[in-house]
Amino acid sequence: MRRLSPSAAVIPWLLLMPGMLLLVAFTHYPAVATIWHSIFSTPKNAVPSVFVGIENYALMIDDPVFWRSLKNNLWFALGTIPLAIALAIMMALWVSDRLAGRGFLRLAYFTPTVLPMIAVANIWLFFYTPQYGLLEQLTHALGLSSHNWLGDPQTVLGALIVVAVWKEAGFFMIFYLAALQQISPTLAEAAMLEGASRWQYFWRVQFPLLMPTTLFVLINALINSFRLVDHIVVMTRGGPDNASSLLLYYIYEVGFHFWDSAYASALTVVLLALLAVVAIAKFRILDRRTHYQ
């Protein structure tokens, strides 16, 4: 067996070095630093930070806003992830067929993804504005009563879910469209010869082959559902009565409005741990059902 020269052994590590440095600098180091800061108090004026152990974590147990934000975030994730993925699959199936104007349809579906998040929030803020917003004009034309969608605790979270699904579905569609184009057309021909319906072909053939893409999209959708803050800052600021406050927005408020960086760090650690647990569970459950071509 021929041994590699020292230079040949070093070259792969040199090629990996830029990516490793970026990963350490912007992922691993901030995570470790956040955990470290979470066990200290917040320095204020001339008072330095001191070691407090798990005191910041103990404060969460009696923090009603934290529990409200966590509950809102779980409902937000349950609302956005299935809807965005289902809509992405339907759009990808439609624009993957040979139909007239499919290039325009692909562009139209993907356009919300490339729009800045602040711009999207302002567009939908106009839609939801009471009295003269686009949605209000439609409901008025149908003879329905006016409603403050962002000012009602019962509807504000649902209104934000609609905005998130509208923006994310086109992005996920691109991955499903690429995966559909990798499926051999001979499978469709074989299914047609066997007399399978369109639904049977999708459920028995296409969907199982899309599972690697679905697993990837699920993880991204999960992360997106817990990192939303721009829309909330522009549209609701967590109101009314914290009905639209999500976990990352609450971290933003604690860190940059109340200047309690230690408690914000503890909240961030909880968010990271929650995402890690859910992501690992998804991998363990779905990876067994995933067929890699």
CA-to-CA distance for 108 and 113, rounded, in angstroms?
Answer: 10
Site of tokens 């893409």: 213
Q: Are 133 and 127 in contact (CB under 8 A)?
A: yes
pTM for this predicted structure: 0.86
Tokens of 68: 């409200």
What DSSP string runs through 229-293? -HHHHHHTTT-STTTT--HHHHHHHHHHTS--HHHHHHHHHHHHHHHHHHHHHHHHHHGGG----
pLDDT at 184: 85
CA-to-CA distance for 147 and 129, rounded, in angstroms?
Answer: 9
pLDDT at 87: 94
Cα–Cα separations (whole angstroms), residue 258 to 146, 163, 172, 231, 249: 36, 28, 36, 20, 13
Q: Which among 227, 228, 266 has a CA at the least distance from the CA of 63?
A: 266
Q: Are 127 and 166 in contact (CB under 8 A)?
A: no
CB within 8 A of 110, min separation 6: which ones?
170, 171, 173, 174
pLDDT at 3: 63
pLDDT at 263: 92
Question: Which residues is 47 bridged to in the sheet?
Answer: 44
What DSSP string runs through 185-233? HHHHHHHHHTT--HHHHIIIIIHHHTHHHHHHHHHHHHHHHHS--HHHH
CB within 8 A of 42, min separation 6: which ones?
49, 259, 260, 261, 262, 263
Domains of the chain with bracketed CATH = 63-289 (1.10.3720.10)
Count of other CB atoms within 10 angstroms of residue 208: 13
pLDDT at 158: 92
What DSSP string runs through 61-97? HT-HHHHHHHHHHHHHHHHHHHHHHHHHHHHHHHHHS
* Peptide linkage before 153 cis (omega within 30 of 0): no
CA-to-CA distance for 74 and 57, rounded, in angstroms?
Answer: 20
pLDDT at 63: 92
Q: What is the pLDDT along the chain (293 residues), one digit of tens a residue?
A: 556 566 677 888 888 898 899 989 888 898 899 999 999 888 887 778 888 888 999 999 899 999 999 999 999 999 999 999 999 999 998 888 776 777 788 888 888 888 888 888 888 988 888 888 888 888 888 877 878 888 889 999 999 999 999 999 999 999 999 999 888 888 888 888 888 888 888 888 888 888 889 988 988 898 889 888 888 988 998 888 899 999 999 999 998 888 888 999 999 999 989 888 887 877 777 666 665 55
CA-to-CA distance for 153 and 240, rounded, in angstroms?
Answer: 6
